[in-house]
């Protein structure tokens, strides 16, 4: 069973009602930008500020509890950290899906061609989802 309080403690993050709510929203919705998080959390916490959301999300990104996903031509979205994966982004509706692909061949090729040591790979594919085709 998913327990956001235990997860926050495992990452040495203070457990607050706002942080628990952020984690639960991301668990429920997958990928969310700050504005959508704010809109959803206002229902539960009418006095919450946008600054509080930013502060908490940034703290969770720093502790590598949340991933920051930069989507071309859209607002940055956040997700709970999970196994390494890439993203499929629909250019029509904006839907974001996770996809697990092996990037090691690409990383090895780039390293050998450029003599550059790859530490991290973030891949975002843009196209049209099945629903929008």
Q: Which residues are annotated as a binding site for Zn(2+)?
A: 90, 93, 129, 132
Strands 124-127 and 96-99: unpaired
Convert 19-52 to b/e letters by CB count within 10 Å (16 or more is b). bebbbebbeeeebbbeeebbebbeeeeeebeeeb
- Which residues sit in the known binding site? 90, 93, 129, 132
Q: Is 125 helix (H, G, I), strand (E, B) or coil?
A: strand
Answer whether 33's CB lies under 8 Å from 49's CB.
no
Strands 124-127 and 86-90: parallel
Answer whether 68's CB lies under 8 Å from 76's CB.
yes
């Amino acid at each position: 069973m998913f327990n956001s309080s235990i997860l926050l403690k495992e990452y040495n993050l203070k457990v607050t009602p706002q942080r628990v709510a952020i984690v639960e929203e991301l668990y429920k919705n997958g990928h969310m930008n700050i504005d959508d998080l704010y809109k959803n959390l206002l229902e539960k916490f009418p006095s919450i500020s946008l600054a509080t959301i930013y502060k908490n999300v940034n703290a969770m990104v720093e502790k590598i509890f949340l991933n920051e996903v930069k989507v071309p031509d859209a607002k940055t979205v956040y997700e709970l950290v999970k196994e390494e994966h890439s993203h499929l982004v629909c250019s029509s509706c904006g839907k974001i899906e996770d996809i697990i692909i092996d990037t090691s061949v690409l990383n090895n090729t780039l390293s050998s061609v450029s003599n550059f040591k790859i530490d991290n790979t973030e891949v975002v594919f843009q196209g049209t989802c099945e629903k929008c085709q």
